[in-house]
């Protein structure tokens, strides 16, 4: 089969209220260099009807069958993908209008890039913007103590890199995105940042949240990141504020003055 420049993998389960927006965000930017692979976990809502409606509109492939959860679906999607580059966009999230154009432009400027990532728009249940996550240069310290250096909604990774770091651990229920971005940080990869929003993360009632499962999340993160001696000595709130300050310095060095104040709370 002909190799595609970019494969988008979308894990899905009973997301009929949102998946059309996800599909449209890929379809509206699609050409012969895009394929969209949707891995459905056996939805019993209207998801399959929506997939059938779109399957002849662009290069969409999909399967619907019981799986072992979101991480398993992502791993399956990677195995099916033909692309030289791969993105992962959850079914209730979506790409910004010019995301693929920005990606291609950045790749042309940085042909040796192993991953390209940008900012993230936070939207409400209806898809209306609420806030924004500004990203900057990679940092293990910032990721370990505060927030991921990149979000999967705005991240594209070279296939050869994914072949080195996949599969993701299917035992992780809440932090598979942290495992992916940590593996990128842990390798000797050329991670290229673009100061534009590429994707959107939707806040909606049925999305996975960390409310009530903070201890489980923290345990998974300890498995991913390990535990350093200084974490036993320095209070966590001090480390978090140090990580925020580190990111603020990076934003200043990147001349992203509009993002510095926002960074204090996001």
pLDDT, position 158: 97
Residues 232-243 have a mean pLDDT of 94
Q: What is the pLDDT of residue 211?
A: 58
Q: Is the pLDDT of residue 103 over 70?
A: yes
Architecture in CATH of 1-92: Alpha-Beta Complex (3.90)
**Strand 34-40 relative to strand 60-64, pairing:** parallel
27, burial (CB in 10 Å: exposed 0-12, middle 13-18, buried 19+) = middle
The whole-angstrom separation of Cα 219 and Cα 234 is 19
- Whole-angstrom Cα Rg for the chain: 18
199-233 pLDDT, tens per residue? 999 998 766 555 567 788 889 999 999 988 898 89
Tell me which DSSP letter residue 190 carries: -
Three-state DSSP state, 222: helix
Least confident piece of the model among 1-10, 85-94, 235-244, 249-258: 1-10
Cα 154 → chain centroid: 6
What's the token pair of residue 262? Answer: 């926002």
Domain boundaries defined on the chain? 1-92, 93-266
Token pair of 188 as six digits:
């000797």
pLDDT score at 90: 97
Question: Residue 74: its pLDDT value, please?
Answer: 97
């Amino acid at each position: 089969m002909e190799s595609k420049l970019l494969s988008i993998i979308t894990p899905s389960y009973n997301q009929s209220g949102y998946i059309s927006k996800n599909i449209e965000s890929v379809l509206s930017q699609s050409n012969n260099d895009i394929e969209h692979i949707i891995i459905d976990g056996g939805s019993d809502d209207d998801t399959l009807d929506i997939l059938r409606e779109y399957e002849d509109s662009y290069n969409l492939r999909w399967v619907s069958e019981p799986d072992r959860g979101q991480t398993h679906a992502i791993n399956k999607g990677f195995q099916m993908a033909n692309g030289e580059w791969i993105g992962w966009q959850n079914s209730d999230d979506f790409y910004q209008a010019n995301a693929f154009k920005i990606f291609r432009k950045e790749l042309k400027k940085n042909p040796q890039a192993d991953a390209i990532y940008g900012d993230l728009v936070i939207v409400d249940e209806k898809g209306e913007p609420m806030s924004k996550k500004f990203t900057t240069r990679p940092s293990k310290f910032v990721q370990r103590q505060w927030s991921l250096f990149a979000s999967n909604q705005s991240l594209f990774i070279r296939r050869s890199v994914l072949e080195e770091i996949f599969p993701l651990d299917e035992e992780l229920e809440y932090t598979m995105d942290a495992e992916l971005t940590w593996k990128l940080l842990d390798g000797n990869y050329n991670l290229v940042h673009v100061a534009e929003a590429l994707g959107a993360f939707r806040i909606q009632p049925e999305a996975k949240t960390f409310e009530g499962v903070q201890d489980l999340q923290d345990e998974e993160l300890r498995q991913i990141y390990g535990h350093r001696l200084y974490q036993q000595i320095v209070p966590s709130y001090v480390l978090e504020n140090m990580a925020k300050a580190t990111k603020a310095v990076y934003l200043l060095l990147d001349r992203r003055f509009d993002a510095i104040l926002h960074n204090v709370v996001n």
